[in-house]
Structure 1
Amino acid sequence: MFGGWGISTDGLTIAIIADLGQGETLWLKANDDSRTRYEAQGCARFVYDMQGQAKGMNYYSAPPDAMESPALMAPWARIALEAALLARNAKPLSKAKSAKPKAAKPATLKPTKRVKP
């Protein structure tokens, strides 16, 4: 696959840093709504090779001007956070969480060990 680092907040990965052959790059989380904004800025989609097949992920390279300015990066970070939040909220409940709750078992009392004073 690839090696790199994840940038997370509150358990949500909003960006990754990975080298896909052109040096380490900051890749920001995207979704269907934000994809066109990244593409309009000339940002590249995160695509890696897995056993001869190109695999894409919902991450785009950060705009070059944003890499030089915290003020210009802030809106892109918010877009990435929003995409991560929407992705988390869109995931269906797992089978374990959606299964019917089991009836509680009755409590059993066990004798306690007697301690001499």
Structure 2
Amino acid sequence: MSQNEAIIDYIRELLAPLGAISARRMFGGYGIYYDSVMIGLVADGTLFLKTDEETRPQFAAAGCRPFVTESRGRSIEMSYWSAPEDAMDAAAAMTPWARLAYAAAVRKANSKPAPKAPKTRKH
């Protein structure tokens, strides 16, 4: 088992109280999904959880840090923040944070405008 696989298995264990957790490879890391919703990502062995304006202050207060990626020579802060260190030790400690991530992801999905209907041609 590779180091990445071991990390993903451990994260699945931590998030198991939520329900079925899946992981998909993406951009050199992994996307973490619950109920078909991406709630987190793993990059360089670190779990980052989805945040929004409502949950970000809680992550900041817990000493978490944002996921930052480089694009075209500049740093871009994403809406994912590292999980609190103490939450990485037990599922009971992780579950509330994972629920915050899921709620943020659902709010984001629900805030997207409905897709426009395709234009029909008049004959």
The TM-score bracket by the shorter chain reads 0.7 to 0.9
Give the Cα separation in 1 of the matches to 2:39 and 2:113: 20
Q: Look up the match of 2:100.
A: 79
Kindly report the root-mean-square deviation, in angstroms, between the aligned alpha carbons of the 2 structures.
1.7
Shift of 1:10: 2.5
The whole-number CA distance in structure 1 between the counterparts of 2:36 and 2:92 is 24
My pick for the range that moved more, 63-72 or 8-17, is 8-17
Correspondent of 2:115 among 77, 94, 99:
94
Is 1:69 aligned to 2:90, yes or no? Answer: yes
Map 1:35-74 → 2, pairs under 5 A: 35-74=56-95
Tell me the equivalent position of 2:33. 8
TM-score w.r.t. the length of structure 1 is 0.75
Runs of 4+ in structure 1 displaced over 4 angstroms?
A: none
Structure 1 residue 63: deviation in Å? 0.2
Distance, in Å, in 2 between the alignment partners of 1:73 and 1:10 is 17
SS in 2 for 1:95: coil
| Matched letter for residue 61 of structure 1 | S
Per-residue CA deviations over 1:31-66 (Å, capped at 9, x if unaligned) read: 000000000001000111112111111000000000
Taking only the aligned residue pairs, the percentage that are identical comes to: 46
Which ranges of structure 1 fall in alignment gaps of 5 or more residues?
Answer: 103-117
**Corresponding residue of 2:8:** none
Number of aligned residue pairs: 95
Higher helix share: 2
* CA distance in structure 2 between the partners assigned to 1:10 and 1:78 by the alignment: 12
| Cα distance in structure 1, aligned partners of 2:54 and 2:40 | 17
Counterpart amino acid of 2:61?
A
